[in-house]
Structure 1
Amino acid sequence: MSIVTRTLADQAFEVIRERILSARIPPLSPIRQDALAEELGISKIPLREALARLEQHGLLQSHPNRGFVVPALTTTEAEEVFALRLKIEPEAAAHASLEADEAERATATAALTALENATGGDGRAMVLLNRAFHLALVRPGGRHVTSQLIERLHVLAERYVHKHLEPAGRHARAHREHRALLKAWMARDPQRVTTLLADHITVTLDDLRKQLRGTATATAPAKARRSVQE
């Protein structure tokens, strides 16, 4: 039995990550390091380590003389991340469906069960479990570089997945799509896996386009007022 020790930086990383994903720290907000370190009861050294990791995950951006800022959710970034997923993930999952052994098939099934059981829970858990399910579909077969690339894309997509699941009914639809995808994957039907996963990613991106367009429209007047006042 191994004991996993969570450092102060690990704990700070998880707390701040959850706040960003849940929009408690909204897009374009600066990170006030002094206040945050005091609130969390830690020094700036582990806090900076956590912030640097969050930047690597695409959840923060650092700017000279400004520190760390939560990046905006943009259609441009969503288009890029989900387009890359479309190029890599469906074929990878199709290949993995043919290569998966019984243990890996059980892992994929358990991942979907955990995701479905978390519906209605905290958003952070949903996003992490969604990623775990998708990665369980691409890892079998020994394509380690491909799996790592897909995992990186899922990390970059996390805020967008959280945003996508906000409207009512999205969880139920996602579960239907996931169940159909897992059924095809378990049947070792690569063509259907490719089609279903490509459709799943495409529909998510289409939804995000509409959501992000609406967000941009809603915030435009406020930005204009600030420009006038300044």
Structure 2
Amino acid sequence: MTASPRFTRRTITDQVTEDLRARILSGDFPAGFQLRQDAIAAEYNVSRIPVREALQRLDAEGLVSFQPHKGAIVAHLSLDEIEELFEARKLLECELLRHAVPRMTPEDIKSIEDILAVYDEAFRSGDISKWGELNREFHDRLYRASNRPKTLEIVRMIGNNTVRFTQAQLALSGATDRAEREHHHILDACKARDVDCAVELLASHIDNSKTSLIDCLRGARPSDGTAS
């Protein structure tokens, strides 16, 4: 079977993984959606082998789970699990930012400013489909100067599990003005090299996002006994 022409630069498995990940994170494949290997292979015009390998990678990232009689499905997270992930984010990201701020170069600051400008424009234009990924990219650029690659890798994996919920939370709660304001305040503290202020603002920002998201999901989900 010949691979689709768009899968040419990296391995087929890499690109199937990236495409499926993007569709999960965007909400195109919602929680509980069954990912049928034969249907995906047919859609991408590839064999089932790279599809199976891609799903196994996404399982390792926590985005997919394998269930008896169903196969691979988009992972569902309980409210308790989402809260736990945000608490882990706060601990790790605050530590990354504490290491990053003193090391930030003018180029690092410019990179953060650039992505924030794109993010602001997506807010103003109401381009909801981009909010989750731009939010993740903004946070990622904040921490790149930390020189903590392993911690950053863990944070990115946690981000894969929360970005689709963050996007929904921003859309449902209407909290875009607050998020935009908090992002700029964090950046201002980074520019001023005020480590303690930047970390405090980040911790508050993650707490606010967690509370808003939990409130939105608690209101949207029926009671199923999976979360308190």
Same fold (TM over 0.5): yes
Worse overlay, 17-26 or 134-143: 17-26
Do 1:73 and 1:212's aligned partners in 2 also have CA atoms closer than 8 Å?
no
- Aligned-pair distance for 1:168? 5.5
Amino acid paired to 1:29: F
In the alignment, what sits opposite 1:121?
127
Ranges in structure 2 where 5+ consecutive residues have no aligned partner: 1-7
Distance in 1 (CA, whole Å) between partners of 2:201 and 2:154 is 20
Distance in 2 (CA, whole Å) between partners of 1:75 and 1:207 is 12
Distance in 2 (CA, whole Å) between partners of 1:148 and 1:24 is 25
Q: Does 1:49 align with 2:53?
A: yes
Ranges in structure 1 where 5+ consecutive residues have no aligned partner: 221-230
Cα distance change on mapping 1:140 and 1:13 into 2, 3 Å? same
| Count of matched residue pairs | 215
In the alignment, what sits opposite 2:197?
192
SS of corresponding position for 2:127 = coil
In the alignment, what sits opposite 1:83?
87
In the alignment, what sits opposite 2:3?
none
Q: Does 1:170 align with 2:175?
A: yes
Do 1:74 and 1:212's aligned partners in 2 also have CA atoms closer than 8 Å?
no
Cα distance change on mapping 1:110 and 1:214 into 2, 3 Å? same
Cα distance change on mapping 1:101 and 1:19 into 2, 3 Å? closer
In the alignment, what sits opposite 2:41?
37
> What percent of counterpart residues are identical?
35
In the alignment, what sits opposite 1:228?
none
Cα distance change on mapping 1:114 and 1:10 into 2, 3 Å? farther
Amino acid paired to 1:23: G
Do 2:63 and 2:75's aligned partners in 1 also have CA atoms closer than 8 Å?
yes
Alignment of 1:1-230 (within 5 A): 5-119=9-123, 120-121=126-127, 123=129, 125-167=130-172, 169-217=174-222
- Aligned-pair distance for 1:69? 1.2
Distance in 1 (CA, whole Å) between partners of 2:119 and 2:53 is 30
TM-score, normalised by the number of residues in structure 2: 0.83
- Aligned-pair distance for 1:15? 3.5
SS of corresponding position for 1:137 = helix
Amino acid paired to 1:172: D
Do 2:32 and 2:76's aligned partners in 1 also have CA atoms closer than 8 Å?
yes
- Aligned-pair distance for 1:8? 3.3
TM-score, normalised by the number of residues in structure 1: 0.82
Runs of 4+ off more than 4 Å: none
CA displacement, residues 113-170 of structure 1 (integer Å, 9 cap, x when unaligned) = 23223333352x4322222211221221422233223222222222222222222633
Do 2:27 and 2:164's aligned partners in 1 also have CA atoms closer than 8 Å?
no
